[in-house]
Chains A and B, each alone.
Chain A
């Protein structure tokens, strides 16, 4: 690295470090892009056979519930997500720390979990923050009690890299 490049790189880092950066949060999408319409339909963990099937149908439809049973938007979905759904069907993988520290699901969720989830269906922000992670195609929002992952909401992600 030349001295000039180093100078500019250092300058950029200083500017980035001094700027106030917006905090990261996740907003829950519209009903047709979610695995649930209402909260009482939320997927329970560990996943049952029926819950797995619901999820696979949702993924095959590309996360658009209008298409479930009518079109296959993502033929590879079942193959891609089956190992993850296996993990989520086993209570031994469902401690809060499996998401936040142990990285049990790192093959799918490589980025830092986000704890701020804005869900306008709720009366108020949650007392105990859920954990939102993404595999870039979907947001997976895990709800926990007493440090056990107990419920799951999945919704279609909005691609961040797409030019708009």
Chain B
């Protein structure tokens, strides 16, 4: 199914491989089950973009719209025994930049959606059934009726073991593991505990943490990456025969910025495995705007993968390139293989 996804993406864009990892230890073996991840989009209204003087806006919205329409067709064409699911990993709508701090009575999301009607309609098309995660820039949506189905995390099952093996998160929790360690316990339970419902108390604690971590930042010059993120050697022709490992970041061999959150994610998943009897082998995140696959192979059970799917805002730069490219990444997981692609308009 990876090849069909690749062909689908190539039908609307030039596609380069950012990273790939084929490994039986990923814990997502079903070759007829394709999960597709669309990372941070950070939409704001055009008026706000101009008035707010923001340096960065969402990249290639027309291309992203075409990608989503193509994914809808891919899903429609899937056989009865195949699964194609699309996840948006949070920070779809950037309420924080739209409003200079969300007013709890103003529906900040609607004007953003009004300005990006085609993309929003494509992504929220009922046939596609996109699952949405709440990110730190759109977490306030949880309070509004339209978004009550949006989640704080999804677990993907290991069909062999029958327990979660992959967790999908926005990823901002791993910021707090380092910056706000005292606050992390409640958030950990809220995010990882399988039997904890999203009650007001926990959601309220979460929003307070998010506001605390935003501080007074306005995000006018950048959100996550002041400089273009380095994504390693990225080549168009590699997609002709995708290698089992491409651009996989590992401790000892990779620079520290390429390993960001690997240890935090590993520790959180290890703790969740112990406390909640899970078998998490991989975490899929957005948030950092830095597309990469990072792996720990020295861990207790020998393997843990962080699949950071990138973004559709800010820039990246590949080895050997002299100028940055706009982040426009799609990731996928199927048959114990994870891939991240960089897209450019054809």
Could you list which residues of chain A lie within 8 angstroms of chain B, going by C-beta atoms? Answer: 20-21, 23-25, 96, 100, 114-116, 118, 123-129, 144-147
Contacts and interface: CB of A to CB of B under 8 A. Distances in A.
Interface string B189-229: 00000000000100010000000000000000000000000
B274 interface: no
A126 B7 CA distance: 31
Contacts of B147: 125
B204 A20 contact: yes
A146 B104 contact: no
Nearest to A124: B126
A129 B105 contact: no
A110 B194 CA distance: 46
Q: Is the interface of A mostly helix, strand, loop or mixed?
A: loop
Highest count of chain A CB atoms <10 Å: which of B107, B111, B143, B149: B107
Given A20-B200, A115-B107, A115-B109, 8 more contacts: A23-B105, A23-B143, A96-B114, A116-B144, A127-B113, A127-B120, A129-B113, A129-B146
Contacts of B149: 125
23 contacts: A21-B104, A21-B105, A23-B107, A23-B143, A23-B144, A23-B145, A24-B105, A115-B109, A116-B145, A116-B146, A123-B126, A124-B124, A124-B126, A125-B145, A125-B147, A127-B120, A127-B125, A128-B113, A128-B117, A128-B120, A144-B114, A146-B117, A147-B114
A100 B106 CA distance: 13
Contacts of B254: none
Contacts, number: 55
A60 B145 CA distance: 33
Contacts of A126: 146
A25 B149 CA distance: 16
Contacts of A115: 107, 109-110
Nearest to B106: A112
B238 interface: no
B121 interface: yes
